[in-house]
Structures are given as C-alpha cells and as structure tokens.
Structure 1
Amino acid sequence: MNKRKLVLSTGNKHKVEEIKNILKDLPIEVVTKHDVGLGDLEVVEDGNTLEENSIKKAKTLAEKLDYMVLADDSGLFVDILNGEPGVYSSRYAGEEGNDKKNNQKLLETLKDVPLENRTAKFEAVIALVTEDKELIVVKGQCKGTIGFKEEGNNDFGYDPLFTPNGYNKTFAELGEDIKNKISHRAKALDEMKKVIKEIIGVRLV
C-alpha cells in the first residue's frame, strides 16, 4: 500500500529538512513541489499577513494536485520596530532570501538599542489543504531577543541573531535537535501533526 503524499510548497532546503524531520514519524511520504513536477510554480507573496501568504501558497499548489499540500510563512517581529521586519522578513534588505543582508540591516537598525529593548518573536503560520480541498491553518511562536552580532554556524535566516527565551545561545548555535523542539515552526508543525494524524486515521498516542 502506497503512503499518502504530503507536498510541501517551499523550495527552501532548510525548511524542507526541518519539516521532514519533525514529521518523520508519520506514515506519510513528505515530498516537495519539485518532486511532483511543479518546481517552477512560483506564488507572489503579496499578502499583508503570514496567514494570507501561507493560504495563498497552499491553495495555488493544491489546485494542481490531488495530494495533501502544506505551505508555511514565517517572520521575525521585533517589538521596538513595531513588528518589523514581519511579513517582509525574507526580503527585509530588498533582495529575496539574502540572509546575510537581512541580518546586516537588522543589526544596523538596532545598533543603538540596548539588550532589554531588543525583544522579538518568531511566528509561523502553516496552511494545509487536504485531498478534499479542506483548509486548515495552525500557528506557532517563539519569543526571544536579538543579539548584537551573528553567532553560530547554522546560518539559516535570522537564526544567528535570535536567542530564544530560556537559553543563552542563538538558534544557529543550539543546533537542529533543540531548535526542532522549541522553534515557532516546530510548535506549529506539532499542532499540524495532530491534524494530519486525524486526517489519515492514525491513533493519537
């Protein structure tokens, strides 16, 4: 019996690895849009919220497939910057996906701000469209602070700058095992895992 497929809308290899890792104990085959021949499908993320973007990405891909489809959008919201970069996190410095420039811009923007005022939160919104085209949305967040320089080798997004509350190391220093338990995406995926278990009829343990 073939496993049911869950198709990820993202082409970001870091996100793909993270999502596959967190969902690895489910009896489903997690693949990307590239794996199903839709790697060229691009969606303009012009929503005003993470939720709008994740839903748009999921629905656009689901229109072309009969599988379950999962899309996410995430962002870093810095309190003293009134929530910036927020929904524009991946293109904060103007160029889509240039992590180094985005981090440099954030550090420059916060250069005179003391540590106690550098509070922030990561948010993730995940949208799932089932084979029956039902839409389900879950959310997760992780609070922390923004450091004064990049720390750590796992430089995915703002991870080298973000220290989650309760820890004294950045996401980039903590490593995947810890991050995949406490991150915004991990929390949202944990909720989505419960949803998928119900959909595929796996008994919740």
Structure 2
Amino acid sequence: MSAKNWLSRGTLVLASNNKGKITEFENLFSELQLPVNVIPQGQLNIEDAIEDGLSFVENAIIKARHAAKISGQPAIADDSGICVPILGGAPGIYSARYAGEHGNDAANNQKLLADLLPFRQQNTPIQAMFVCVLALVEHAEDPLPKIFQGFWHGEILEHVRGEQGFGYDPLFWLPELGISSAEMSKAEKNKISHRGQAMQHFRQSLG
C-alpha cells in the first residue's frame, strides 16, 4: 500500500470514540497538514470494535479493519496503554478497562496504585512505559497493514499529579522533566509522547 493510494481517496477514518485520543489526534493530524479529511468514526455512527486480540498490534489492526469495513474508507486505528514491568506488563492492552469499567480513568488509576503498593520501596522508582501502536489499512481486507509504534518511558507516582491529559497521565512521572504527563500542555506532550512518536513515524512514511 502506497501513501499515494490512500491519500487519493480523500478521507481517512480515525477508528476511535475516545474523546481524549480524538483531541490529541486532531492536533497531531493538523500539524501534518495532509490533503485528506480525517473523520472520527463516531461521526459515521461506527461503534467500537470488539478488541479480542492479545497484543497492541492485533487490537489496532482489528479496530482499523472494523472502521474500514463499515465506512468503505481507509482507516487508521490506535491501540495504546501503559505497561508496568514489575506487574508483568500490566495493565497493558487492558489499560482502558483495568478496573472493570471501560474508560473510567479514576478507577483505573486507583487500581494501579493499589496493585503497586506491595512493590513500593523507599527511594526505588517503579518503571513504566506508555505504548502506542497505529495501524493503517487501505481497506478492510488489506493484507499489508502499515504499523507505527511509539514508546514513552517514565515512572509511576504514588499519587496523581496534574489536571491535563487523560488516562494514566496523572500517574506518569517524567524524571528528566520533573513533571507528570498531566502537567504538560497538549503541545508539549504531543512532541514526546508515545502517540506523538508513532505519528512521527507515520509522517516519515509519507516521504
């Protein structure tokens, strides 16, 4: 699949109904200045796909194919989350529904803090990594989805900090900056975040 093929279609469906993600993507796509309309799937009455893959890559492809099949347009999907090595990589692909209810950020954050309590040691940071995988398909049965990945390394705080962002941003500490990702502006976050990195790879693929 060449960039020319899907760009010529004029429309790219963003396979997400997550308001926080959609806002970030709208800003990121605006910076790309692509000659194509990027439409969140909700505007086309497309509900979320059933994410039954076992990896970020699988789920991103599932979501992209789902949106492409219903819309008849090329689609791009994001699957992302936070991985904590000391928890065996959890919450991982279950980040959005870690506490049981999909998209309940406060409950997810509280569960993560509770699960980490047994591992807390004085002056020993708990490492974590935000992961973003983008999958781009030209059509629902595209045999060669394009994959773009971004990884953002940091630590997990003991208490939430900051009012910006969404998801696990208030717990994600960036020691080199001395702030949480929820204390960054949208523009600052997009420059270095996992999603920003994946979008940079996407941009580079366009030549």
**TM-score, with length taken from structure 1:** 0.88
Letter in 2 for 1:150: V
**1:56-112: per-residue Cα shift (whole Å, max 9, x none)?**
010111122332201110010112111111111111111111000000011111225
Please tell me whether residue 8 in structure 1 is matched to residue 14 in structure 2.
yes
Give aligned-pair identity as a percent. 39
Q: Which moved more, 1:25-34 or 1:112-121?
A: 112-121
User: Aligned to 1:18, what secondary structure does the other structure show?
Assistant: helix
> Contact 1:142/1:164 (CA < 8 Å) preserved in 2?
no
> Contact 1:7/1:69 (CA < 8 Å) preserved in 2?
yes
Select the residue among 91, 116, 127 that pairs with 2:124: 116
Select the residue among 29, 52, 70 that pairs with 1:23: 29
> Contact 1:121/1:141 (CA < 8 Å) preserved in 2?
yes
Q: How do 1:68-107 residues align onto structure 2 when only pairs under 5 Å count?
A: 68-107=74-113
Letter in 1 for 2:52: D
| 1:130 equivalent in structure 2 | 138
**1:101-149: per-residue Cα shift (whole Å, max 9, x none)?**
0000111112251353410100011100125935111111000000010
Q: Which moved more, 1:135-144 or 1:66-75?
A: 66-75
In structure 2, runs of 5+ residues without a counterpart are: 1-7
**TM-score, with length taken from structure 2:** 0.87
Distance between the aligned counterparts of 1:69 and 1:155, measured in 2? 24
Distance between the aligned counterparts of 1:79 and 1:168, measured in 2? 22
Q: Post-superposition, which runs of at least 4 consecutive aligned residues in structure 1 deviate over 6 A? A: none
Cα separation, partners in 2 of 1:130 and 1:101, compared to 1, 3 Å: same
> Contact 2:16/2:42 (CA < 8 Å) preserved in 1?
no
Select the residue among 137, 157, 164 that pairs with 2:174: 164
- For these two proteins, the number of residue pairs brought into alignment is 194
Select the residue among 168, 175, 187 that pairs with 2:185: 175
> Contact 2:16/2:48 (CA < 8 Å) preserved in 1?
no
| 2:45 equivalent in structure 1 | 38
Aligned-pair RMSD on alpha carbons?
1.9
